[in-house]
């Protein structure tokens, strides 16, 4: 009898589901809306405007191919004006007013953190395209930029092995991404046998423009006879005066190389790079990478933006990968429904622009190659080293003792963003956000 009842309930539930799906399908006539949530004004506009443009281009290209599930895509662009509480408001507006099915957006970690609760509450999808500090994995977010093990750690390895660096300056802007990354790097370097007095950590405010003291401190730190390098997590506008001061004070890349995690082709556009030749950047993509996919992407970009001068950069590739993964997952699921897409997207493979394949992992990070490039005098990077294999993104750093035991896995049966492998318990979303 009881079994009878159970099948009955299951049957009713199933039929309800089917009808729900049917009605959903009925509603889903008309275009699929894709949210683009970037700052088009304020301090972050410098970086994010390009990402908005690349999203419009990707959507246009997809529409040329006949759209998605037979429907056209329609971009919904909202400016968040470099204002993070506003970003949360606008994310809500995207879902509740505009009815988008997925959102591509944010640049800074603080933006991501402030919109997270909205996506969680409304069960949305956010594709976040920028390298970040890790220590996070959320069911509704897909991290298509690099986590520290896909950028910072390989860069430090390169300097240690190829350049023989023994003394390290970790210089960053004073906020969450540099602080967390430097914490991980410090632990990693000390594990590798670097003495604490051979590590100098320095933070500067946002938009710092007077680098005289710090550059001379770096010079002094680097004159001890041990090979010294600077690992820079300096963000945004502060980079141009920093590199200018380096050039003017005659810090030669052959003596003290600077490897940067936030400086790409776009940031170098406002700079005469001839005094900077040889300084390094670690990314997962460079415009100079010579592959047919990349050549096509650059050509499409130039045609779309109407200028041969415009450069492409790593977060643009991340949007390219993220968008194609979302398209792949929607096609696989046959619907734009968030739960179905979240289930379908794990394992989706799309080609990246540097000649490999990106796979969405269960922790909502992706596999990436790591490239080390040296700045050239034309403002481009020349790849001097790359990882042999693709590096899977790690949500929780293996080099921080409290994070090393954590794993993120959004597939059954774990379904958790911060699963403790020792206690075999899930820490919950709150812990993940901290």
Residues in the chain: 434
> In the bound complex, what is the minimum distance in angstroms from residue 37's beta carbon to other proteins?
16
> In the bound complex, what is the minimum distance in angstroms from residue 163's beta carbon to other proteins?
6
Name which of 137, 109, 120 is nearest 407 in CA terms. Answer: 137
> In the bound complex, what is the minimum distance in angstroms from residue 129's beta carbon to other proteins?
17
DSSP string, 258-285: EEESS--HHHHTTS--GGGTT-EEEES-
> In the bound complex, what is the minimum distance in angstroms from residue 143's beta carbon to other proteins?
24
Return d(Cα 15, Cα 29) in angstroms, integer.
22
Give how far the C-alpha of residue 227 lies from the chain's centroid of Cα atoms, to the nearest Å: 31
| Of 102 and 281, CB closest to other proteins | 281
Site residues for other proteins per CB under 8 A: 40-41, 43, 45-46, 49-50, 162-164, 174, 202-205, 207-210, 212-214, 216-217, 219-220, 223-225, 237, 240-241, 244-245, 247-250, 253-255, 257, 266-267, 269-272, 275, 277-278, 280, 374, 376-377, 382, 384-385
| Of 50 and 151, CB closest to other proteins | 50
| Of 123 and 248, CB closest to other proteins | 248
Name which of 230, 237, 229 is nearest 173 in CA terms. Answer: 237
Signed CA dihedral, 413, 418, 421, 424: sign only: negative
Return d(Cα 32, Cα 384) in angstroms, integer.
42
> In the bound complex, what is the minimum distance in angstroms from residue 238's beta carbon to other proteins?
9
| Of 71 and 310, CB closest to other proteins | 310
> In the bound complex, what is the minimum distance in angstroms from residue 286's beta carbon to other proteins?
13
| Of 301 and 385, CB closest to other proteins | 385
| Of 215 and 432, CB closest to other proteins | 215
Return d(Cα 108, Cα 176) in angstroms, integer.
9
| Of 21 and 383, CB closest to other proteins | 383
| Of 81 and 414, CB closest to other proteins | 81
Burial profile 7-26: b = 16 or more Cβ within 10 angstroms, e = fewer: eeeeeeeeeeeeeeeeeeee
Name which of 316, 352, 350 is nearest 54 in CA terms. Answer: 316
Name which of 232, 225, 177, 174 is nearest 200 in CA terms. Answer: 232
> In the bound complex, what is the minimum distance in angstroms from residue 279's beta carbon to other proteins?
9
Return d(Cα 87, Cα 152) in angstroms, integer.
28
> In the bound complex, what is the minimum distance in angstroms from residue 379's beta carbon to other proteins?
9
């Amino acid at each position: 009898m009881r079994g009878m009842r159970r099948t009955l309930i299951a049957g009713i539930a199933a039929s309800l589901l089917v009808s729900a799906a049917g009605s959903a399908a009925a509603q889903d006539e008309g275009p699929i809306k894709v949210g683009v949530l970037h700052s088009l004004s304020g301090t972050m506009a410098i970086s994010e405007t390009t990402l908005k443009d690349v999203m419009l281009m990707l959507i246009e290209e997809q529409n040329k191919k006949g759209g998605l599930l037979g429907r056209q895509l329609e971009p919904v662009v909202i400016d968040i004006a470099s204002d993070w509480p506003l970003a949360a408001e606008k994310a809500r507006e995207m879902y509740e007013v505009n009815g988008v099915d997925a959102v591509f957006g944010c640049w800074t970690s603080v933006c991501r953190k402030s919109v997270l609760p909205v996506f969680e509450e409304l069960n949305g999808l956010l594709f976040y395209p920028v390298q970040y500090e890790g220590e996070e994995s959320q069911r509704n977010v897909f991290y298509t930029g690099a986590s520290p093990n896909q950028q910072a750690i390989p860069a430090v390895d390169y300097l240690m092995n190829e350049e023989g660096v023994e003394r390290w300056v970790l210089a960053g802007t004073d906020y969450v991404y540099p602080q967390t990354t430097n914490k991980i790097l410090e632990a990693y370097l000390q594990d590798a046998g670097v003495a604490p007095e051979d590590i100098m950590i320095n933070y500067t405010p946002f938009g710092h423009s007077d680098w005289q003291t710090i550059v001379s401190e770096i010079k002094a730190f680097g004159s001890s006879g041990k090979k010294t390098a600077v690992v820079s997590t300096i963000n945004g506008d502060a980079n141009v005066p920093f590199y200018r001061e380096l050039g003017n004070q005659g810090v030669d890349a052959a003596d003290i190389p600077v490897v940067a995690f936030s400086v790409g082709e776009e940031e170098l556009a406002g700079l005469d790079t001839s005094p900077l030749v040889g300084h390094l950047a670690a990314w997962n993509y460079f415009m100079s990478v010579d592959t047919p996919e990349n050549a096509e992407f650059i050509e499409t970009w130039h045609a779309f933006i109407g200028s041969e001068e415009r450069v492409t950069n790593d977060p643009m590739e991340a949007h390219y990968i993220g968008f194609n993964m979302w398209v792949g997952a929607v096609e696989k699921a046959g619907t734009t429904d968030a739960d179905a897409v979240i289930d379908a997207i794990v394992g989706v493979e799309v080609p990246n622009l540097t000649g490999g394949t990106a796979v969405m992992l269960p922790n909502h990070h992706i596999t990436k190659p790591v490239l080390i490039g040296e700045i050239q005098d034309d403002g481009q990077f020349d790849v001097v080293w790359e990882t042999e294999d693709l590096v899977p993104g790690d949500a929780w750093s293996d080099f921080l003792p409290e994070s090393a035991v954590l794993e993120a896995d959004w597939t059954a049966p774990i379904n958790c963003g911060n699963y403790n492998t020792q206690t075999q318990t899930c820490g919950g979303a709150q812990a993940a956000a901290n």
